[in-house]
């Protein structure tokens, strides 16, 4: 059996800034110039970070509890696989799928993918029938 499940809620976009000394700041960028970045933290405090002290900036993301985050713009890639066996282990199925796409914004994404699905079925003790499907597909997703 092959199944998939996806879910997403609408959450405000944030920015994660990694400081060179090891601190991590999560908030919303109020302004930035060549000298500093001004960040509104989720606590309501505003901080000024010199750009020379910033190690990495991740923008256009949704931040979840525990520090996990999801990009709302840019390229994404996916992989899934699965297999199934019959109760006598003589017939089997396997599947592998690759997906590459682009998130336009937090609500819309487009992608293309390829899937390889293989099925092995015994005909008698010495003969097996092998069936392979190779669908190529387009993927579009809208998050209300």
- Strand 46-50 to 54-63 pairing: unpaired
What dihedral angle (degrees, nearest 10) is formed by the CA atoms of 55, 8, 40, 76? 30
Two structure tokens written together for 38? 């001004």
| Nearest-angstrom CA–CA distance, 140 and 102 | 10
Asked if 49 contacts 26 with a C-beta cutoff of 8 angstroms, the reply is no
What's the confidence (pLDDT) of residue 1?
Answer: 43
pTM above the 0.75 mark? no
Residues of the chain falling short of pLDDT 50: 1-3, 5-9
Report d(CA 57, CA 115) in Å as an integer: 35
């Amino acid at each position: 059996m092959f199944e998939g499940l996806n879910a997403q809620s609408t959450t405000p976009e944030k920015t994660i800034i990694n400081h060179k000394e090891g601190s991590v700041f999560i908030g919303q960028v109020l302004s930035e110039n060549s000298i500093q970045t001004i960040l509104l933290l989720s606590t309501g405090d505003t901080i000024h970070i010199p750009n020379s002290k910033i190690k990495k900036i991740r923008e256009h993301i949704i931040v979840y509890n525990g520090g996990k985050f999801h990009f709302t713009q840019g390229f994404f890639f996916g992989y899934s696989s699965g297999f199934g066996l019959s109760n006598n282990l003589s017939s089997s199925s396997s599947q592998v799928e690759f997906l590459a796409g682009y998130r336009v914004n937090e609500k819309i994404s487009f992608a293309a993918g390829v899937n390889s699905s293989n099925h092995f079925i015994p005909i008698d003790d010495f003969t097996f029938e092998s069936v392979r499907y190779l669908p190529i597909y387009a993927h579009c997703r809208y998050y209300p």
